[in-house]
């Protein structure tokens, strides 16, 4: 089974958009091209919560956003292949506009809990801490010995200090750690969640959701210094207090 994480920037269509350029059509087409079974979507901008079967594609979309009376921002969800939707024993549990979960039966009484996350940006430090607390409570509710796959855009840089975080960070991290990255590392260390995409030698474009280019930094340094971590996964064995 193949999983992915995608900051789609928005799934809101403009009035002039008609098939086949609807955003969900484009996302479904790209997922099909890469043969992705489940993708965690972030920054969807869709309001409330809902489900959409994209006819003519292989995917069903689930989402959770802010209330219809609030601005279109944040929003998370999943795009799931229809064959998996037909096998779901329960529908996604929407925690809030930045966290939603999907529980998949993997056979032989094994379950995988996929969590889609969209973390606030660095300038919202109090909100970041609050969301990590809610995410911790969400993980605490997962049954012992069930697996966890945590996917999304964490808006964080965890750096490369493997020696300081040997059980969490691999030898192939990116950028320089910022305060959001430190929160993410502490969160993962507390819950025994290794950040898997720092453990493989991959091109930088496969480790991050975006590259921000400050004009004061040279081109050589920019591509490394400004990346955002996108993936963390682990098997849940025990949670530390």
- In angstroms, rounded to a whole number, what is the distance separating the alpha carbons of residues 55 and 183? 41
Q: What is the pLDDT of residue 29?
A: 93
Long-range CB contact pairs, 122-129, < 8 A, 24+: 122/155, 122/156, 122/178, 122/179, 122/180, 125/179, 128/180, 128/183, 129/183
Is 204 a residue whose pLDDT tops 80?
A: no
Is 20 a residue whose pLDDT tops 80?
A: no
Q: What is the pLDDT of residue 197?
A: 79
Name every residue whose Cβ is closer than 8 Å to that of residue 69 and which is 6 or more positions away in sequence.
none
Q: What is the pLDDT of residue 126?
A: 76
Q: What percent of the chain has pLDDT over 90?
A: 32
Is 145 a residue whose pLDDT tops 90?
A: no
Q: What is the pLDDT of residue 17?
A: 56
Enter the pTM of the model. Answer: 0.82
**How many Cα atoms sit within 13 Å of 8 on the Cβ side?**
33
């Amino acid at each position: 089974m193949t999983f992915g994480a995608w900051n789609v920037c928005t799934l809101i269509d403009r009035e002039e958009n008609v098939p086949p350029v609807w955003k969900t059509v484009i996302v479904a087409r790209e997922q099909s091209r890469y043969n992705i079974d489940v993708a965690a979507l972030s920054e969807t901008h869709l309001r409330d919560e809902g489900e959409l079967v994209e006819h003519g594609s292989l995917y069903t979309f689930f989402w959770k956003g802010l209330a219809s009376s609030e601005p279109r921002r944040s929003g998370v969800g999943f795009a799931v292949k229809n064959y998996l939707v037909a096998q779901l024993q329960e529908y996604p549990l929407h925690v809030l506009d930045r966290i939603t979960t999907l529980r998949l039966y993997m056979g032989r009484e094994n379950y995988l809990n996929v969590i889609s996350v969209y973390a606030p940006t660095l300038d919202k430090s109090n909100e970041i801490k609050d969301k990590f607390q809610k995410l911790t409570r969400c993980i605490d509710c997962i049954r012992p010995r069930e697996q966890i796959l945590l996917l999304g855009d964490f808006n964080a840089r965890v750096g490369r200090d493997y020696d300081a975080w040997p059980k969490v960070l691999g030898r192939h991290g990116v950028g320089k750690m910022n305060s959001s990255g430190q929160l993410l590392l502490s969160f993962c260390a507390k819950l025994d969640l290794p950040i898997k995409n720092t453990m493989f030698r991959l091109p930088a474009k496969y480790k991050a959701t975006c590259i921000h280019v400050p004009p004061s930094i040279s081109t050589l340094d920019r591509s490394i210094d400004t990346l955002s971590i996108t993936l963390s996964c682990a098997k849940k064995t025990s949670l530390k207090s």
